[in-house]
Amino acid sequence: MDKKPSHARTVIAYIVLIILTFLCLFFFYILIVNATRSHPQIQKGFSFIPGHSFMKNLRSVLNDANIPVISGIKNSLIVSSLSAILATYFSALTAYGLYAYDFKLKKPAFVFIMLILVMPTQVSAMGFINLITKMGMLNTLYPLFLPSIAAPAVFYFMYSYMQSSLPLELVEAARIDGSSEFHTFNRVVIPIMKPALAVQAIFAFVSSWNNYFIPALVISDNSKKTLPILIAALRSADFLKFDMGKVYMLITIAIVPIIIVYIALSKYIVAGVALGGVKE
C-alpha cells in the first residue's frame, strides 16, 4: 500500500540529488577543462571537451615571475602542515590535561575554552598585526602557524573523543605500570586518539591552506606569499590582460591537491564531520 508513494518520492529524491551533484561538480569540471585549453580557445566559448594546452598553461604559470607559484606551494605546505601538527597535538594535550587531572582551575579553564569556542580570530586582527610587528614577525611565516597551538574547536573535538574512547582506568593502569605522565600521554593516549588526530589534522590543514585574511595582512614579501594571496593578486591585476588558461591553471593548482586528498580520505572526513556535531 505504501510502496507507491515511496516510489514517487524516491524518483524526486534522485532528481534533486542529481541536480545538486551537478551543481557541486560542474564548476570544477569547467575549471579543469579550461585549465587544459589555450587562451584563444577559452575566449571563443565554452566546451566540455578538454584541450591540449595543459602543459603549456602549467609552464606559463610556473615561469611567471610575478606569480611565485613554487614558493607559494612550498609556503602553503609548511604553514598548513605545522598548523595541523600544532593544533592537533596541543589540543589533545590540553584536552587530556582537563580530562585526566583534577585541579582547582579545571572547571574555569574548561568553561573559558567553551566560551571562546567559536570566537572569530578576525576581531583581534588589529592588535595581532600590531603585536607581531613589534615582535619582528611581520612578513614571516611564524604568525601563520604558531596561533594554532590554541585551537578551541579542535580541543572540544578531542575532549569529546576522550570521553567516549579513553577510560581513565587505562591511565591508572599505566601509572601503576610505572609510566611517567608525559610517557603515558605520548605512548598510550596519542595512539588511542589516532582517529581523532587524523580527522582534525586534515581539517586544520585544509583551513590553514585556504586561509586568506590573516596571511594577506601579514605577508607582503613575494617569496613568503601563500597560495590564496597569489590567487587574490591575480584578481587585483588587470584581469583582461591575463592569459585565461594561466588563471584557470593557477586555480587548479590551489584546489586540486585538496580534492585528491579529500577523495582518498573521504570516508574518514565525512565521518569526522558527523562526529563534530554529535555530542550525546
Q: Interface residues for another protein in 30-89 (CB under 8 A)?
A: 30-31, 34, 42-43, 45-46
Site string for another protein, 126-165 (x = CB under 8 A): xxxxxx-----------x--xx-xx----x----------
Taking CB under 8 A as the rule, does residue 263 contact another protein? yes
Report the 10 Å Cβ neighbour count for 238. Answer: 6
Beta-carbon contacts of 95 under 8 Å, excluding residues fewer than 6 positions away, are 155, 158, 159, 161, 162
Region 166-225 residues binding another protein, contact defined as CB under 8 A: 167, 169-170, 172-179, 181, 183, 185, 188, 191-192, 194, 206, 209-210, 212-213, 216-217
Q: CB-wise, 77 or 258, nearer to another protein?
A: 258
Pull the grid cell for residue 261: 586528498
Phi-psi region for residue 179, left (φ > 0), alpha (ψ -120 to 50) or beta? beta
Question: What's the closest the beta carbon of residue 47 comes to another protein, in angstroms?
Answer: 9
Region 234-253 residues binding another protein, contact defined as CB under 8 A: 234-236, 239, 244, 247-248, 251
Q: CB-wise, 31 or 77, nearer to another protein?
A: 31
Q: CB-wise, 55 or 277, nearer to another protein?
A: 277
Taking CB under 8 A as the rule, does residue 6 contact another protein? yes
Helix runs in the chain, H state only: 3-35, 39-44, 54-63, 69-100, 106-115, 125-134, 142-145, 152-165, 168-176, 181-184, 190-192, 194-210, 213-218, 227-236, 244-277
